[in-house]
Amino acid sequence: MTFAGWSTLTSAIEVGGYAATVETGGTCELALTGPSGATATATAATNADATTTACELLSVPASSLRGGTWTGTLTYRSARSIGTATVSPIEVP
């Protein structure tokens, strides 16, 4: 994971990351859990470069979130690979 946090500019949780593999056709999935068990998800395509496969920006807007602390996972998945990273707690105003 390269970044995860609340964006005051877009009023959204934004997450980015990459997989340490070079391949096409994968997806990145963000799964968040917040106050009182609320959940939110986002999915993004990927772009391979010379050494990694990067997730496009994953964004969950404020309209899909409640104020409070959110945690979760970022998962990269393809026909050949799978990997998951933990999203550190994010405070939503």
Residue boundaries of the structural domains of the chain: 3-92
DSSP state of 77: E
Residue 30: the pLDDT is 98
| Cα 66 from Cα 92, distance rounded (Å) | 7
pLDDT digits (tens, 9 = 90+) for 3-49: 999 999 999 999 999 999 999 999 999 999 999 999 999 999 999 99
Contact (CB, 8 A) for 34 and 92: yes
Contact (CB, 8 A) for 12 and 62: yes
| Cα 93 from Cα 69, distance rounded (Å) | 9
CATH node for 3-92: 2.60.40.10
Give the pLDDT band of residue 1 (cuts 50, 70, 90): confident
HSE, CB side, 13 Å, CA atoms: give it for residue 64: 14
